[in-house]
Amino acid sequence: DAGVIQSPRHEVTEMGQEVTLRCKPISGHNSLFWYRQTMMRGLELLIYFNNNVPIDDSGMPEDRFSAKMPNASFSTLKIQPSEPRDSAVYFCASSSWDRTNYGYTFGSGTRLTVV
């Protein structure tokens, strides 16, 4: 298994542009999580899905952020319009139904820089 796959690894964009981050979870995992990592706030949960359904999006900072999971093997996180304060590393993680026993498997992250 190739693990959780995220793309792109790096993204540099200008303020105001739309940014789309992609994630392919591990096959068979039914939960998917999007986290944002910054020096100031550490790891913040943005949104998570169970069986492709968004369960909790209370961590999404603003309406500029949206996430979708059209099927079990793909999810996107979109920022429109992007702002410099969105610069961070965005991680996707997936897990099976029992997170306690198996924990999360994280992707390599997307390092986003908004200039």
Partner 1 sequence: AQRVTQPEKLLSVFKGAPVELKCNYSYSGSPELFWYVQYSRQRLQLLLRHISRESIKGFTADLNKGETSFHLKKPFAQEEDSAMYYCALSSSGYSTLTFGKGTMLLVSP
Q: How far is the CB of 106 from partner 1 (least distance, A)?
A: 4
Asked if 25 interacts with partner 1 (CB under 8 A), we say no
Residues of span 45-104 touching partner 1 by CB under 8 A: 45, 48, 56, 91, 93, 97-101, 103-104
Q: How far is the CB of 47 from partner 1 (least distance, A)?
A: 10
Q: Which residues pair with 107 in a beta bridge?
A: none
Query: Helix or strand or coil: residue 53?
Result: strand
Instruction: Give the integer Cα–Cα distance in Å for 9 and 68.
Output: 19
When asked if residue 43 is in the footprint of partner 1 (CB under 8 A), the reply is: yes
Q: What is the contact surface with partner 1 in residues (CB under 8 A)?
A: 3-4, 33, 35, 41-43, 45, 48, 56, 91, 93, 97-101, 103-109
